[in-house]
Structure 1
Amino acid sequence: MVSNSDLLYLLMSRKPWHSLPQPFYTEPDVYRADLRNIWQQDWIFAAPSAEFPKTGSYITLEIGEASVIVVRGADRVIRAFHNSCRHRGSRICAAHKGTAPKLVCPYHQWTYDLDGKLLWAREMGTDFDPSAHGLGLVHCREIAGMVYICLADQAPATDMLEAQAARYLGPHDVANLKVAHQSSIIEQANWKLVLENNRECYHCSGSHPSLCVTFPDDPNLVGADDSTTSNMGRAHVDRCEAAGLPAKYLIDPSERWRFVRIPFLGKGVSYTLDGKAAVSKRVGNVPFDNAGTCLFFHYPNTWNHFLSDHVLTFRVLPIGPQQTQVTTTWLVHKDAEEGRDYDLKRLTEVWTATNDEDRRIVEENQRGINSPAYLPGPYSKVQEGGVNQFVDWYCRAMHTALMGAARIAAE
């Protein structure tokens, strides 16, 4: 059994600019600590609001043992509830997504309104108070067309994120897009390896031939300041900013989230094999086709690409110590029609291939880490600064949570 003190020791034993000690990727006790200290405390990306096009549209999410319903109400507000009936605890919604006029428990048919209020429970006696038995509320926020949930009793503030998301993502009008396609894959690897792989493109030229048609793998393309930004990146940022399109590298003081807009290679304007637009209708009020892509990550579970012709969202959810679900959603202009304004295969083929390539990479990484020969290795300070930044963030978050738990235990 890995105790909190063991975890603190392991965190402090990590060498700077090195991968984590083996237990962080393999041990069930560490996985449970991740769930308890990060996944049940932070804001988690649930879905783009386009997944809730009408009243009663819902999805369900599993975060460890916590099952959550996210649903759009009759008042158009998106809310989240614990997927557990207030009668005897049965799960209410078994499907991953759907549409329902009411939320009805399949066990004894207790019926809840879309705002969580209990509407009907048969034969409960005259002293039963329905108002005291509504669904358990989960914190839920829609931020620039992106829906987040938080399982903590007290959710962290989102004011700064909301302000910057409005600036960087607002031009893409995400709330008024529609879902063109969605895919979910299971990667047989710890969730941190999935995030680590995303945070670098050191592997891209050797692993992602279709992505590299337009996506640049230069780690200095757009940096935190002009001194670390290439001429190509600086010219793109200046051009976008002059047109009113926020593009400069911006990272949260806690390093939990970041925005930056980067150019595509050559004359590329989208993630397609020929570099041309995948969708003929431009999204939102993006001023030109070759706006590159606005890259937005939010730890612990999402990275996203905002292009001139479509938007890609990625959601990571841990399933087990060495199993992770990755869901990709392609969003297009709400009036775009398949077959007229876009070809679905052409729109999705680059990232469908890239996701499968990443799955194989990450699974081989996990298999190698499982070896008794594994030792933490050094990150490239040229290519893997993003990986180190994520791992540093994870270590700080875990250390803070574990020290807080130790103080409470000592009181």
Structure 2
Amino acid sequence: MEALLGHIVNISEKKIVAMTQNDLLNVSYPSLDVARNEMTKLLSERREDYSLPRPLYNDPYLFRIDVEEIFQKEWLFVGMTSEIPSKGDYFTVEIAQNPVLVVRDADGSVNAFHNTCRHRGSRICLEHRGKVANLVCPYHQWTYNTKGNLLFAGTEMGDEFDMKSHGLRPVKVKTAGGFIFICLGDEEPDSNFDEFLATLEEYMAPYDVENTKLAVESNMYEKANWKLVIENNRECYHCAGSHPELLNTLLEWDDTTDPRATPEFLAYCERMANEWDAENIPHEHKSFGPRNRLVRMPLKEGTQVMTIDGSQGSDKLLGRIQNRSLGSLRILHLPNSWNHMQSDHFIVFRVLPISAQETMVTTKWFVHKDAVEGVDYNTDQLRQVWDATNDQDRILGEENQRGINSLSYEPGPYSKTYEFGVIDFLNWYSERIQENLNK
């Protein structure tokens, strides 16, 4: 799978390299400056309740602008703190040719750095995850501690070499409720992000994430623009025709404010709210603009978690949770994550762009840290629903991309009833791109 990352687009002002065949068919602009002007024009003139113009889904120059103005400037979800429980535990992630490592420090804090040696730029941590005493570059053995300080560069660098000025380049990192977010930009975006983090901390407290562990993960390569992946997630208009496994347990309504919500559904939510209150489980709908949202939703009556038959996924409940039929805490974080927190396991999703028409979707399942695989839980059972759903969505996204590539494509209307989540996402995307371009 890592070999696929070699297809990432690398675009300079006058040269385009390492591009896919589809990318080569969709180069529309003679330079990046022209593309920036066209991006502003396309977004300012777009019809708000319609899909985007074709180049925004397939042009490599506009993809580079997406990377620079969204993925290199906004807060991105990368993983969970329980993936790195002890000093020296780390995982790596690559964000459109920007390798990053996330590591647990000796003081318990989570640090993030550009995974690039300050000597000649080689990647330092080559594995997806691991444990180290110090961070040692495999090329010339320059050595850093988990705070990013350079400890060793060898006598070959000479007496005048300044060790202190050659530490690892830090990446901004924030954690809350067990979630890890990073920002590659020089400035922190989104002034209300800390308010979201405080609420996330409160709503995740019942799950005690520090006492969970990663049970299994998958990485799915999708031949579609990253926005199509997010758009697909932000509506369930397609669910009845595409996701039989998911709909064994999932209720299609987005939340209690969904215009499609029936009186029976609202009454069920009220009954569940009383159960949540009795267990002191936060459940009030919280939104922070279109970007961040938390909403607790019941699953279908008679089901417990998102397994194929709705039965338990693990013998061990999470944190202080007592009710197996707790439903799902749905957490949205744009531009790259949605999540489902349940009574005995939780599932997190991460979307990262590769090229104008390629995306990596990572799914991770977490259980109680004391749960024993094959005794308390079975990974195949945990994965079954979302493996099927992810692959179904991959096919939908890839066919969507192929259709958009057609010269006959033109933006089509969204349903304000079924696809309001997509409208919200594209409004957020359009506003952020334009704001960042104008800074």
Tell me whether the two structures share a fold, i.e. TM-score over 0.5.
yes
CA distances 1:346-367 after superposition (whole Å, capped 9, x unpaired): 1211111111111111111111
CA distances 1:121-152 after superposition (whole Å, capped 9, x unpaired): 11111111211110001111121101111111
In the alignment, does 2:274 pair up with 1:241? no
* Equivalent in 172, 175, 178 of residue 139 of structure 1: 172
Of stretches 57-66 and 259-268 in structure 1, the one that deviates more from structure 2 is 57-66
* Equivalent in 217, 239, 251 of residue 287 of structure 2: 251
In the alignment, does 2:83 pair up with 1:48? no
* Equivalent in 310, 314, 334 of residue 345 of structure 2: 310
* Equivalent in 57, 75, 89 of residue 89 of structure 2: 57
Letter of the aligned partner of 1:111 in structure 2?
T
Structure-2 residue corresponding to 1:407: none
Letter of the aligned partner of 1:351 in structure 2?
W
In the alignment, does 2:39 pair up with 1:7? yes
Shift of 1:107: 1.8
Partners in 2 of 1:7 and 1:216 — Cα distance?
Answer: 37
Letter of the aligned partner of 2:123 in structure 1?
R
In the alignment, does 2:281 pair up with 1:281? no
Q: Is the 8 A contact 1:178 1:334 kept in 2?
A: yes
Partners in 1 of 2:254 and 2:336 — Cα distance?
Answer: 22
Structure-2 residue corresponding to 1:368: 403
**TM-score normalised by the chain length of structure 1:** 0.94
Partners in 1 of 2:119 and 2:381 — Cα distance?
Answer: 48
Structure-1 residue corresponding to 2:68: 36
RMSD: 1.8
In the alignment, does 2:158 pair up with 1:125? yes
In the alignment, does 2:361 pair up with 1:326? yes
In the alignment, does 2:372 pair up with 1:340? no
* Secondary structure in structure 1 of the residue aligned to 2:347: strand
Structure-2 residue corresponding to 1:230: 266
Q: Is the 8 A contact 1:222 1:249 kept in 2?
A: no
Change in Cα spacing, 1:192 to 1:273, as seen in structure 2 (3 Å) is: same
Partners in 2 of 1:273 and 1:222 — Cα distance?
Answer: 27
Shift of 1:401: 1.3
Q: Where do residues 177-192 of structure 1 align in structure 2 (5 Å cutoff)?
A: 177-192=212-227
Shift of 1:372: 0.7
Partners in 2 of 1:64 and 1:338 — Cα distance?
Answer: 34
* Equivalent in 272, 283, 305 of residue 270 of structure 1: 305
Of stretches 53-62 and 301-310 in structure 1, the one that deviates more from structure 2 is 53-62
* Secondary structure in structure 2 of the residue aligned to 1:3: helix
Q: Where do residues 129-208 of structure 1 align in structure 2 (5 Å cutoff)?
A: 129-156=162-189, 157=191, 158-208=193-243
Partners in 1 of 2:432 and 2:178 — Cα distance?
Answer: 27
Partners in 2 of 1:345 and 1:66 — Cα distance?
Answer: 32
Partners in 1 of 2:416 and 2:197 — Cα distance?
Answer: 32
Shift of 1:236: 2.5
Partners in 1 of 2:107 and 2:149 — Cα distance?
Answer: 14
Letter of the aligned partner of 1:175 in structure 2?
E
Shift of 1:403: 2.3
Shift of 1:275: 1.1
Letter of the aligned partner of 1:52 in structure 2?
I
Structure-1 residue corresponding to 2:17: none
Q: Is the 8 A contact 1:223 1:249 kept in 2?
A: no
Shift of 1:400: 1.0
Give the share of equivalent positions with the same residue, in percent: 45
Q: Which runs of 5+ in 2 are unaligned?
A: 1-28
Shift of 1:95: 2.0
Letter of the aligned partner of 2:353 in structure 1?
P
Q: Is the 8 A contact 2:245 2:385 kept in 1?
A: yes
Structure-2 residue corresponding to 1:408: none
Q: Is the 8 A contact 1:23 1:30 kept in 2?
A: yes
In the alignment, does 2:416 pair up with 1:384? no
* Secondary structure in structure 1 of the residue aligned to 2:220: strand
Shift of 1:231: 2.8
**TM-score normalised by the chain length of structure 2:** 0.88
Q: Which runs of 5+ in 1 are unaligned?
A: 405-411
Partners in 1 of 2:408 and 2:234 — Cα distance?
Answer: 25
Change in Cα spacing, 1:291 to 1:44, as seen in structure 2 (3 Å) is: same
**Matched length:** 402
Q: Is the 8 A contact 1:85 1:105 kept in 2?
A: yes
Shift of 1:223: 4.4
* Equivalent in 23, 26, 29 of residue 55 of structure 2: 23
Structure-1 residue corresponding to 2:111: 79
